[in-house]
Amino acid sequence: MTSRGFRWLIGLTLLGAGFGAGVLLARPSAVPPSLLVDERVERTVALTKQPVDDVRDVQLSIQQGPNRQLFAAGEGLLTDFDCAVGTFFRSGASNLSIDGRPVLNLATETPMWRDLRAGDTGDDVRALTRELKRLGHPVAVENTLRSEVVRLLRAGLMREGSRGSDSQTIRRERLLWLPERKVEVLECLAEAGTRVTSEQAIAGLSAKALGASVVNVPADAVPGERVIELGGDRIAVDSEGRITSKSELVKLDGAVQRALSAREGSAADGGAEPGEPRLSVRYLLKRPLEAWVVPPSALVMQTEQQACIVSAEQALPVDVVASALGKSFIVFDDAAIAPARVELHPEQSTRC
């Protein structure tokens, strides 16, 4: 082959290579458009709604009164005494008999301090009829003692009938006053077969819870009405973590007695003052907040609990109420402005 022919061959080869490269460059992408990632979606994240109760594990310090006792109101031989540590005396029931006659347990706001005859009036009569009505008996709550109430107590509850000249009288010695509707026995101070005298202590009871307060209320707790959970009970506390309401103290006392009974024999919580046991409780919002979940990277923090989020190039203020396991929980002043998506990595210089 002549040198001129050789140059022609090289030229044709280069021309073919260039044409092939052009064809390759002109081929379309092998990835279908439907599978291409939208960069806008990659840069944003969806908001998800989740209620937040801001639950905290805290210690509750219990303020208790002195240990209490039950006292017999009559004298005689204790012919029956149903008493054991850890058992309960309940209003409307009977745990003892004196000289063969049952004594009725009654929890009244005013202790029974006298014998009562039909026609007697007073706060003790109203307290008696109120408790009988609570127990389900068909009586009217009033200050005057009616004959039918006397008959109900004597025949139906005391199992005494209407015999004798005092058939219109409820004798104080036939009633055992309870400070609450149900009290737990810590100690039995008498036994069947022994004689008891009037005003003799027959059983020791647990101390009454007079108040309680959360120890070291968390400084970063989410503002709002709060409760503590103790066992199966939810009990309201004030803004300083104290229980002061009379109705809530009644719930507290029952919950505390159950918790202390369950704990008996185990080591007490440390740090308590004498006479002020401590219990582990849950401290949480009474009504959960409507919050949204975002990754921490979506927040531009302004203060410890305030931040900005960015959606559609608009910065929105939020409050950070909680965080856990790579999640931040935020709330808006107005839930209606919550966007569907927010930027995953907004500029840290953002202000709102």
61 exposure class (CB count in 10 Å sphere: 0-12, 13-18, 19+):
buried
Task: Look up residue 273 and give its amino acid.
Answer: E
d(CA 234, CA 232): 7
pLDDT reported for residue 156: 66
Q: What does the domain layout of the chain look like in residue ranges?
A: 1-29, 44-52+289-343, 56-65+208-285, 68-205
Strand partners, 230: 233
- What pLDDT is stored for residue 157 in this prediction? 67
pLDDT per residue rounded down to tens, the chain (352 residues): 554 554 534 444 444 444 444 434 444 445 555 544 455 557 999 999 999 999 999 999 999 888 899 999 999 999 999 999 988 999 999 999 999 999 999 999 999 999 999 999 999 999 999 999 999 999 999 999 999 999 998 886 666 544 444 678 999 999 999 998 988 899 999 999 999 998 899 999 988 889 999 999 999 898 899 999 998 899 999 999 999 898 899 889 888 877 877 765 444 444 445 457 899 999 999 999 999 999 999 999 999 889 999 999 999 999 999 888 889 999 999 988 999 999 999 999 999 9
Q: What is the C-alpha separation between 233 and 81, in angstroms, rounded?
A: 32
From the list 164, 178, 151, 186, the residue with the least C-alpha distance to 96 is 178
Secondary-structure breakdown of the chain: helix, strand, coil percentages, each rounded to the nearest 5: 25, 35, 40
pLDDT of residue 268: 42
DSSP notation for 243-265: E--HHHHHHHHHHHHHHHHHHTT
Rg of the chain taking only CA atoms, in angstroms: 39
127-142 per-position pLDDT tens digit: 999 999 999 999 999 9
pLDDT at 260: 74
pTM of the model: 0.64
Q: Degrees (nearest 5) of the Cα angle 94, 96, 101?
A: 90
Query: What pLDDT sits at residue 32?
Result: 58
pLDDT at residue 154, rounded to an integer: 86
